[in-house]
C-alpha cells in the first residue's frame, strides 16, 4: 500500500462524539451494565487481588499453626480447610483471573489498537460468573463447609464415602464457575487478537505479549474442559451416584488424576505464560531496545503451549505407573525446560545489549529471574522419578511450586502492576515505597520458602497440622513463619503506595516509560473509546517505529460503537463491525446460571429447573433491539484505500 499525501483531519467534535457513543452507564445499576474492557479488566484485577489477600491470610494462619511443634492454635479439621481453600483460592481465584483475565482483558484491546474487546457482553458475564464462584468457595468456608480434600480434591478422599456433606460439592462447582469464566475470556481475547489488530500489525509484528495471550487462550480452551469434566464427574458421583471413580464397579481413581492433571499442568503455563509476557514487555522497555530474539521467543511460547499438554503424568509418578510411561514423561518434563531457557537467554541478551534502566518494574523482573530460576532448577530435580519418589508429598514440593508460582507469576505481576498502574490510574506509584515493598517481599519470600526445601528433605510431609518436637523441624518452621511477617509488611506497603499514588501521585502522562506498544498511545487513564484516532502500525514496537506522520484509520463510524475488523495473518482491513453496548443482561444471565449451578449441588433437578431462567435471560441478552443493524454495503467487499 502506498503512503498517501497528508490530508486535513479535523478532530473537533470527534472526541465528544466518541465519548457519547462509547459512554458506559454510571450509578449503582450502571455498574452492572458496564461492558467496557477497561472496567471489566480492572474489576478482574481488583477482585482477584482481594482474593490473593484472603488466600494470604489463610497461609499466615497455617504458618502460625506450624510455628512450633505441637502448637494448638488450629485443629486438624480447620487446618485441612485452610490449605485446601488457600490453594484453590490462589490458583483459581487469584492467579488465573489476575494473570490471564485481568491483565489480558485490560491490555489486549489497547495493544491491538482497538476500542473494545470482542464480545464485550460475554466478557462482562465472565467477570460476574467468576465472582459468584469465588464467593461460593469462601461462603462455604465461613459456614464450616470449606473444601478440605486439597486443592486438587483427589478421589477417593473427596468422594461420597470419605467426604460426606457438601464440602467437595462446593469445591467442584467453584471449579465450574471459574472455568466458565476463563473460557469466556479466552474466546474474547483470541478473537480480539486475531481480528481486531490495527492495520499493519501483521502476525510477524505482533507484540510478544499478544502472542503469549493468544497461546494462553488456546491452552485455556483445551485445558479447562478437562477440569470441568472431572469436577462434574466428581459432583455426579456425589449427588446422583454415578460410579466413575468407584473401583468396585469398574471405576478408577487414577482416571480422576489423569483428567485433573491434563488440565493441571497446562494450568501452570496458563499462569506462567502471561507472566513471561509481562517480562518480555518490561525488559524491552527498560533495556531501551527491541527484544532480542523475537522469533525464538515466539517459537518458544508456542512450543511451551504444545509441550505443556504432554507432561501431566509427572504429577503421578508415585502412583505406580508402568516404567515406560514414567520414562516418557520424565523426558517430556525435562524437554519443556528448553523453551523456557530460550526465553531466559533472550531476556539476558536483551539486557546485555541494551541500556538498562533499573526502574521499579525492572527490579521485580530481576526478582523473577532469581526466584524462578531456583524454582525451575528444583523442578528439573523433581522431573526425575527417583528423586520425586523421595520427596513426594513433602515440603520440598511445597517449596518448589511456590518458587515457580510466586517467582513465575507474583514477581512479574508486581512488575506489571508498577508498569501499568500509571496507565490505569493516570498517576505514578511512589518509587521509594515500591523498593521497600520489593525488598520486604523478596527477603520474606526466600525466608519462608527456601527453608521449606530443607524441611522437605528432612522428611516433613505437607498437609500435616502439627509435628512432634523429636522431629527437629521447629527451628526451620519458625524461620519460615517469620518470613510471612516480612511478606505481609511488603504487601501492606504496596497497598498504601497504591492509595497514596491514586490520591496524590505524580501525573503519568500518556507514556511515562517511553514504551513502544500501542496502549501508551492512549491518554492515562484511557477514555472509553480508547483511541481518538485509530492507529496503523509500522513495526513490532508500534510507537518506536511510527513514521513522523504515521497514517491513521478513517471511516469507522463514530455515532455507533463500531470497530475495524482485520484479517488474521496480515491485519488487512476487512470489515467494520458494530459492538453491542452496555446491558444488564450479562449480569442477570450470570445470576441465573449461578442459581442453576448452586442448586445442582443440592438436587440434580437444579440443573433442569435452573435452565429455565438461564434460557430466558440468554434470550434477553441476545434478542436484537435498538436501531436496526447497519445495512450491508451492496457491492462486493471494497478494498480499504489510502486517501490521496
Question: In the range 102-141, which residues lie near another protein by CB under 8 A?
Answer: 118-119
DSSP state of 594: H
Q: Is 556 in the site for another protein (CB under 8 A)?
A: yes
Binding mask 514-543 for another protein (x = CB under 8 A): -------------------x--x-------
Instruction: Cite the DSSP H helix spans in 89-198.
Output: 96, 103-112, 120-142, 167-195
DSSP state of 306: H
Phi and psi angles of residue 577, each rounded to the nearest 5 degrees, phi first: -120, 135
Site for another protein in 250-289 (CB under 8 A): 250-252, 255, 258-259, 262
Binding mask 385-414 for another protein (x = CB under 8 A): ------------------------------
Say if residues 489 and 476 touch (Cβ distance below 8 Å): no
CB of 475 to another protein, least distance (A): 46
Q: Is 473 in the site for another protein (CB under 8 A)?
A: no
In angstroms and rounded to an integer, the radius of gyration of the C-alpha atoms of the chain is 25
Which CB, 386 or 629, lies closer to another protein? 629
Phi and psi angles of residue 491, each rounded to the nearest 5 degrees, phi first: -65, -40
Q: Is 7 in the site for another protein (CB under 8 A)?
A: yes
Say if residues 553 and 574 touch (Cβ distance below 8 Å): no
Site for another protein in 151-190 (CB under 8 A): 183, 186-187, 190
Task: With contacts defined by CB under 8 A, name the span among 1-9, 95-103, 275-283, 595-603 that binds another protein.
Answer: 1-9
Q: Is 72 in the site for another protein (CB under 8 A)?
A: no
C-alpha cell at 435: 523498593
Q: Is 4 in the site for another protein (CB under 8 A)?
A: yes
Which CB, 308 or 444, lies closer to another protein? 308
Distance CA 421, CA 429 (A): 8
CB of 155 to another protein, least distance (A): 12
Say if residues 426 and 506 touch (Cβ distance below 8 Å): no
**Nearest of 95, 221, 71 to residue 151 by alpha carbon:** 95
Say if residues 479 and 453 touch (Cβ distance below 8 Å): no
CB of 363 to another protein, least distance (A): 35
Q: Which helix (H) or strand (E) holds 563?
A: strand 562-566
Q: Is 361 in the site for another protein (CB under 8 A)?
A: no
Which CB, 66 or 521, lies closer to another protein? 521
The full DSSP string for 218-282 is: HHHHHHHHHHHHHHHHHHHHHHS---TT-GGGT--HHHHHHHHHHHHHHHHHHHHHHHHHHHHHH
CB of 110 to another protein, least distance (A): 18
Which CB, 390 or 550, lies closer to another protein? 550
Q: Is 228 in the site for another protein (CB under 8 A)?
A: yes
Tell me the angle at which helices 337-353 and 323-335 cross, rounded to the nearest 10 degrees: 10
Site for another protein in 231-250 (CB under 8 A): 233, 236-237, 240-247, 249-250
Site for another protein in 610-639 (CB under 8 A): 615, 619, 622-625, 628-633, 637-638
CB of 99 to another protein, least distance (A): 20
Q: Is 309 in the site for another protein (CB under 8 A)?
A: no
Distance CA 259, CA 281 (A): 34
Among 64, 222, 328, 345, binds another protein (CB under 8 A): 222
Say if residues 36 and 24 touch (Cβ distance below 8 Å): yes
Which CB, 78 or 556, lies closer to another protein? 556
Which CB, 545 or 574, lies closer to another protein? 574
Amino acid at each position: 500500500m502506498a503512503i498517501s499525501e497528508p490530508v486535513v483531519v479535523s478532530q473537533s467534535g470527534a472526541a465528544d462524539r466518541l465519548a457519547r457513543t462509547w459512554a458506559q452507564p454510571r450509578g449503582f445499576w450502571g455498574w452492572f451494565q458496564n461492558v467496557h474492557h477497561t472496567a471489566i479488566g480492572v474489576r478482574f484485577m481488583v477482585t482477584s487481588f482481594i482474593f490473593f489477600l484472603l488466600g494470604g491470610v489463610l497461609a499466615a494462619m497455617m504458618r502460625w499453626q506450624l510455628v512450633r511443634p505441637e502448637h494448638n492454635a488450629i485443629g486438624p479439621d480447620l487446618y485441612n480447610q485452610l490449605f485446601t481453600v488457600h490453594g484453590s483460592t490462589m490458583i483459581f481465584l487469584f492467579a488465573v483471573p489476575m494473570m490471564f483475565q485481568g491483565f489480558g482483558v485490560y491490555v489486549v484491546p489497547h495493544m491491538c489498537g482497538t476500542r473494545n474487546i470482542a464480545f464485550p457482553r460475554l466478557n462482562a458475564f465472565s467477570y460476574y460468573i467468576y465472582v459468584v464462584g469465588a464467593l461460593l468457595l469462601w461462603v462455604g468456608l465461613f459456614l464450616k463447609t470449606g473444601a478440605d480434600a486439597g486443592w486438587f480434591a483427589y478421589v477417593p478422599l473427596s468422594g461420597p464415602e470419605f467426604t460426606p456433606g457438601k464440602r467437595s460439592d462446593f469445591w467442584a462447582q467453584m471449579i465450574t464457575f471459574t472455568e466458565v469464566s476463563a473460557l469466556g475470556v479466552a474466546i474474547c481475547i483470541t478473537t480480539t487478537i486475531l481480528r481486531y489488530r490495527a492495520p499493519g500489525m501483521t502476525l510477524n509484528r505482533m507484540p510478544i505479549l499478544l502472542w503469549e495471550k493468544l497461546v494462553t487462550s488456546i491452552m485455556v480452551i483445551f485445558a479447562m474442559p478437562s477440569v470441568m469434566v472431572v469436577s462434574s464427574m466428581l459432583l455426579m458421583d456425589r449427588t446422583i451416584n454415578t460410579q466413575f471413580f468407584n473401583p468396585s464397579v469398574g471405576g478408577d481413581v487414577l482416571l480422576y488424576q489423569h483428567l485433573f492433571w491434563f488440565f493441571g499442568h497446562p494450568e501452570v503455563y496458563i499462569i506462567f505464560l502471561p507472566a513471561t509476557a509481562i517480562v518480555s514487555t518490561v525488559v524491552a522497555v527498560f533495556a531501551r531496545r527491541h527484544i532480542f530474539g523475537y522469533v525464538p521467543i515466539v517459537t518458544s511460547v508456542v512450543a511451551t503451549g504444545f509441550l505443556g499438554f504432554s507432561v501431566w503424568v509427572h504429577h503421578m509418578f508415585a502412583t505406580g505407573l508402568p516404567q515406560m510411561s514414567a520414562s516418557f514423561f520424565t523426558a517430556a518434563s525435562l524437554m519443556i525446560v528448553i523453551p523456557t531457557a530460550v526465553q531466559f537467554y533472550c531476556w539476558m541478551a536483551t539486557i546485555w545489549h541494551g541500556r538498562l534502566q533499573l526502574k521499579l518494574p525492572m527490579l521485580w523482573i530481576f526478582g523473577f529471574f532469581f526466584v524462578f530460576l531456583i524454582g525451575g532448577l528444583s523442578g528439573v530435580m523433581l522431573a526425575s522419578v527417583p528423586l520425586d519418589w523421595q520427596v513426594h508429598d513433602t515440603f520440598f514440593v511445597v517449596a518448589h511450586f511456590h518458587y515457580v508460582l510466586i517467582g513465575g507469576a507474583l514477581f512479574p505481576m508486581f512488575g506489571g502492576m508498577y508498569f501499568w498502574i500509571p496507565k490505569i490510574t493516570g498517576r505514578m506509584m511512589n518509587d521509594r515505597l515500591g523498593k521497600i515493598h520489593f525488598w520486604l517481599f523478596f527477603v520474606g519470600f526466600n525466608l519462608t520458602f527456601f527453608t521449606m526445601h530443607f524441611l522437605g528433605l528432612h522428611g516433613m510431609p505437607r498437609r500435616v497440622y502439627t509435628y512432634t518436637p523429636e522431629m527437629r523441624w521447629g527451628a526451620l518452621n519458625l524461620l519460615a513463619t517469620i518470613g510471612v511477617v516480612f511478606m505481609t509488611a511488603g504487601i501492606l506497603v504496596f497497598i498504601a503506595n497504591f492509595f497514596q499514588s491514586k490520591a496524590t501521585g505524580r501525573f503519568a502522562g500518556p507514556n511515562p516509560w517511553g514504551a513502544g506498544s500501542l496502549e501508551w498511545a492512549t491518554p492515562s487513564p484511557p477514555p472509553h473509546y480508547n483511541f481518538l484516532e485509530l492507529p496503523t502500525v509500522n513495526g513490532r514496537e508500534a510507537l518506536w517505529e511510527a513514521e513522523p506522520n504515521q497514517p491513521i484509520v478513517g471511516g469507522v463510524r463514530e455515532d455507533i460503537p463500531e470497530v475495524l475488523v482485520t484479517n488474521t495473518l496480515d491485519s488487512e482491513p476487512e470489515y467494520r463491525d458494530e459492538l453491542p453496548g452496555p446491558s444488564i443482561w450479562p449480569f442477570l444471565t450470570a445470576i441465573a446460571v449461578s442459581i442453576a449451578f448452586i442448586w445442582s449441588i443440592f438436587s440434580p433437578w437444579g440443573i433442569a429447573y435452573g435452565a429455565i431462567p438461564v434460557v430466558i435471560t440468554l434470550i434477553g441478552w441476545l434478542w436484537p433491539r435498538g436501531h436496526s443493524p447497519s445495512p450491508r454495503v451492496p457491492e462486493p467487499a471494497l478494498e480499504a484505500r489510502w486517501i490521496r
